[in-house]
Amino acid sequence: MRREKVIILPLSLLVIAGTLSGCAEKEPGAKVLKLAHGLDTTHPVHKAMVFMAEKVKEKSAGRLRIDIYPSEQLGSERECIEQLQIGALAMTKTSSSPLESFIPKMKVLGLPYLFRDSQHYWKVLLGPIGKELLAAGETVGLSGLCFYDAGARSFYTKNKLVETPADLDGLKIRVQKSPVAMQMVKTMGGSATPIDWGELYTSLQQGVVDGAENNPPSFYTSMHYEICKYYILDEHTRPPDVLLISTPVWNKLSPEFQRILREAADESVVYQRQLWAEKTKENLQAVEEAGVIIIRPDKTPFRKAVEPMLEQYEGTEIGELAAGIAAVR
């Protein structure tokens, strides 16, 4: 079995560890967990975490509290993950894609056209395979609490209409810092360019990249629709968002607080799924009204384009996980 990679932290994060505390006591008898992420406060996933924080406070009668720092206030997605490893930050929300460098098993969730539909997606994430993936990072300091719906990711471009994979030829497409995402875009014919989420608006504006790929709520809340006028709903991947807690911080929580946190996280998933469905519909309508041309292409050429990539995983741990996911009915 492949060993999980242990990340060596840069000096800057060790300095942060001395000044940031993943959990602290700001009020007598109250334990405070810091949760940082990169999304805007209008994003449905942020709202779900606010819902969770309210439930934690309610269930603990104010003895446990979660303070949320959105919009990369405490660092980029990767930096927040690294801070969790050393207990400098208690919690973060990240896409499963950047987690691939920390938890190799997470690569399976980035494979194109892995899930048949939303029902299949949730049956996997809430079942044994999902639990296995959430626990897979514990040895590197990253304990998974739950998955949030991040919908299906699709391409959006500034100036070129994309209706088939061939149309991606010559285009620089922003992807997350994920080996699987980079491989997918390359296999389809595009030029994959990893850029931090917080830098993407400017990168699109300045022509560093010609387009990107993401779900409708993220396309809308990021205001990327102001620059990109084509949204191609090829729905190539469905990597979920993952709510993580630092394993060192988790291990210091009492069994009661651990139970409260898990209950609140699970309840926030139900809330977020409903909110996500509503916002996806609203946001697609909003970007179309703003002048974005929405394309619903035939997905068959896109599926065929990535077949050689998927064949490379046959016989590997990721391939076996993918086969297990395909077998879920």
Domains 11-101+136-149+240-281 and 153-238+285-326 agree in fold: yes
Q: How far apart are CA 196 and CA 97, in angstroms?
A: 12
pLDDT digits (tens, 9 = 90+) for 272-281: 999 999 999 9
Listed residue (216, 232, 230) closest to 284, CA to CA: 216
153-238+285-326 to CATH, choices 3.10.450.50, 1.10.287.610, 1.10.340.30, 3.40.190.170: 3.40.190.170
pLDDT digits (tens, 9 = 90+) for 226-238: 999 999 999 999 9
Spans of all domains in the chain:
11-101+136-149+240-281, 153-238+285-326
Report percent pLDDT > 90 for the chain.
90
CATH fold of the domain at 11-101+136-149+240-281? D-Maltodextrin-Binding Protein; domain 2 (3.40.190)
pLDDT value for 24: 55
- Written as tens digits, the pLDDT of the chain (329 aa) is 333 434 444 434 443 444 345 665 555 679 999 999 999 999 999 999 999 999 999 999 999 999 999 999 999 999 999 999 999 999 999 999 999 999 999 999 999 999 999 999 999 999 999 999 999 999 999 999 999 999 999 999 999 999 999 999 999 999 998 999 999 999 999 999 999 999 999 999 999 999 999 999 999 999 999 999 999 999 999 999 999 999 999 999 999 999 999 999 999 999 999 999 999 999 999 999 999 999 999 999 999 999 999 999 999 999 999 999 999 99
Using CA atoms of 121, 176, 4, 268 in order, give the dihedral in degrees to the nearest 10. Answer: -40
The pair of three-digit structure tokens given for residue 127, joined into one six-digit string: 């079942």
